[in-house]
Amino acid sequence: MKGHIDKLGVLIAILAAYGAWSPFASLRANRIVQGEGFGLFSALPAPMAWLLVAIILMGSLVALFRREASPRILAAATVLMALAALVGEAAAHLTPSENNYARVAPATGFWLLLFAFSLLAADGISRMRPDPKLRLAYLIATVGILSLIILSGAWTDLSVMKEYAARDDVFWREASRHLALALGSLGAAALIGIPLGVVCERVPAIRATVLTTLNLVQTIPSIALFGILIAPLGWLAIHVPGAYAIGIRGIGAAPAFVALFLYSMLPMVANTVAGLAAVPRESREAARGLGMTSAQRLFQVEFPLALPVILTAIRIVLVQNIGLATIAALIGGGGFGTFVFQGLGQMATDLVLLGALPTVGLAFFSAVVLDALIDMNSIVPARKEAR
């Protein structure tokens, strides 16, 4: 029987058992005091608690004894949807009636169960080896289900949703700032970094100097770089006509944007150099034999073959910038970091989560989408070469 037990399934089952035994939800008198943990049978009505235990047990058995991808994905999806639905029910069950100050949040058990069966879902998907389009379909389905749960009001009584309800207009303003910083710095880095990478690949004499300089920028801690940029940008705002009017200031979005741009340059330039250097010599010679000009070879032959490597740089930069943009709130740059640092200052965990969870979700979404695009663009050049 030992040979039939999945090794990862053992870890998942242990995490699931410990999660089911641990507190499922916590109740606090208000948003900043310490909470009291409640197990499944205290946090939920008994029939719902037994139902969740049965679903967790089923999922654990599938993780232990079924190696096929489809049962693992189905079992994980069932447990995760049950957790998503019942954590909202726990909040409604535990919240005292007509009490606007009490806060109910998912506790250790919920997070352990979420991690365990997310791991099972990821394992099932990796065993299935889905093509990029199917991975995107899984992502869209997940986003759709989460959106339906939120819109249905099932999570209204959760503490993080109460924090959102108290500042929903501010939330979307900071979300737009966060995206503007991450995407804007990515766009500027692509606009400058890719041509610079082409030049570095063509002119080896400047390659080492450029890459060494960009490597030095990467060694500067993000908070330090934000601070370093305050003085020169503040000087520009005062002494250069029109600089202040277009948003250049010592604090705010300008130093955050410049810092993210500088951090983005190394992956952009280095991957462009690596992608172009990896283009097969035979492909270059064939293009020359066809009478293509240097520009035609670059855009019609070399760039398509180097595109997966360049897209990898875009993926690295976007995920990196989504995370680093959180720190921009320290210098008045806005973004989801506003809620994170406000929550830390107020010792309000749920306010921290209001900023942290969208940041993690946005980074995960971006990584999956760009991974799929990279795979799609890796397949196309391979087919062209085969022909």
For the segment 198-231, what is each residue's pLDDT rounded down to a tens digit? 999 988 889 999 999 999 988 888 888 878 888 7
- Over residues 235-255, the pLDDT tens digits come to 777 777 776 776 677 777 888
- CB 218 within 8 Å of CB 263: yes
8 lies in the same domain as 108: yes
Residue 161 included in any domain:
no
Q: Is 278 helix (H, G, I), strand (E, B) or coil?
A: coil
As a whole number, the mean pLDDT across the chain is: 88
For the record, the structure tokens of 73 come out as 């994905």
**Domain-ending residue, one of 132, 156, 180:** 156
Query: Alpha-carbon distance 105 to 111, whole Å?
Result: 11
The residues, ordered by sequence, that sit 6+ positions from 305 with a Cβ below 8 Å of its Cβ are: 275, 278, 279, 280, 283, 381, 385
Query: What is the tally of structural domains in the chain?
Result: 2
Its domain, for residue 346, covers: 168-386
277 lies in the same domain as 374: yes
- Over residues 150-173, the pLDDT tens digits come to 999 889 999 999 999 988 889 999
**Domain-ending residue, one of 127, 156, 185:** 156
183 lies in the same domain as 120: no
* pLDDT score for 366: 92
- Over residues 255-264, the pLDDT tens digits come to 888 889 999 9
The residue type at 171: F
270 lies in the same domain as 354: yes
- Over residues 262-318, the pLDDT tens digits come to 999 999 999 999 999 888 888 888 888 888 888 888 888 888 888 989 999 999 999
